[in-house]
Amino acid sequence: MNIIKPKILTPGDTIGILATAGAVESKENILKAKEYFENCGYKVVLSENIFDEYRYLAGTDEKKVKAIHDFFLNDEIKAIICMRGGYGAVRLVEKLDYDLIRQHPKIFCGYSDISALSAMIYKRSGLITFSGPLAQSDFGVDSPSEFTLNSFWKAVSTNEQLCFSPDNCKIYKSGNASGIIWGGNLATIVSLCGLEFVPDEDFIFFTEELNEVTYKIDKMMNQLMNIEKFRKNIKAIVLGDFLDIDCEKWLDELFFEIAHILNIPIIRGFKVTHNKDKITIPYGAKALLENNNLKIK
């Protein structure tokens, strides 16, 4: 399968804000995100279901799938920014037309629950997406993080190599590794078990989590490690934040244990997170972990 890197964004392009997961929490924030991109020199369109509410979802699955297809088919739209995470993306992954997505490649960005879409889009269409900020919680707030904005624009509007260094670096096992960069929110990636979702090539696994106790992180990591292709192709793990963890000591012990079992480098401290400051990662791009730094081209 040919890997497709989307064209970079340039001022004057059209950005689509798309609801794929949970229902909107703040209409005001969506309008602020629209205004932010317009002030940066872009045209903006909102998906038809952007303010829909169906239980806890942004409309029915059928409306969300149609919105995704419509945005990819619209060749005027050069980038798609997901509205929010929450829950709902895994309901869509078997309903999407991945041939359509492959034939109309463009920037697609989001994190958290959106990891399910990024993983399956890469697996079935070969399109490199972006694990990065969301419209509602990142672009639509009163004081967006300059760090997050700078990382996003460098990733989607330049062809420069990206280099990320960990803060408060914690090394469970040192070493260098190469492969595509792949992963996302841990619980969301695990929700894909039962599908063919693990990359066929070597990969560096990046992950983060929020509001999960250590034994559940243990369970989810072992669920992935029980997949033969995951064990065979994983070459390193780069960890982001595990926010509101119950016991840091147990988490450290878990990742020391995993490093020993898999015999791969594991580094913690990258700004892959639900926190305000976050990096934007080209999901599926070639990556190198070297001297504790992550380089992506």
Q: pLDDT digit string (tens) for 217-244?
A: 999 999 999 999 999 999 999 999 999 9
Q: Could you give the CA distance from residue 59 to residue 277 in angstroms, rounded to a whole number?
A: 29
Cite the DSSP H helix spans in the chain. 27-39, 61-73, 98-103, 115-125, 146-157, 186-190, 214-225, 228-233, 248-262
| Eight-state DSSP code of residue 224 | H
CATH top class, domain 162-296 = alpha beta
Question: Quick one: tokens of 96?
Answer: 């999407």
Other beta carbons within 10 Å of 2: 7
| Contact assessment for residue 127 and residue 102, using Cβ atoms and an 8 Å cutoff | yes
CB contact set of 35 (below 8 Å; sequence gap of 6+) = none
pLDDT of 7? 98
Other beta carbons within 10 Å of 207: 25
CB contact set of 100 (below 8 Å; sequence gap of 6+) = 69, 72, 73
What are 295's strand-pairing partners? 163, 288
Compute the Cα dihedral for 107, 230, 189, 139 and give only its sign: negative
Identity at 29, one-letter amino acid code: N
pLDDT of 1? 74
Q: Could you give the CA distance from residue 273 to residue 269 in angstroms, rounded to a whole number?
A: 10
Q: What pLDDT, in 10s, does the model give residues 242-293?
A: 999 999 999 999 999 999 999 999 999 999 999 999 999 999 999 999 999 9
Structural domain boundaries in the chain: 14-157, 162-296
Domain 14-157 has CATH 3.40.50.880: no
Q: Is 57 helix (H, G, I), strand (E, B) or coil?
A: strand
Low-confidence residues of the chain: pLDDT under 70: none
- Taking 3-state DSSP, the helix, strand and coil percentages for the chain, each rounded to the nearest 5, stand at 35, 25, 40
Closest of 257, 259, 262, 281 to residue 270, by C-alpha: 281
Question: Quick one: tokens of 289?
Answer: 């972990």
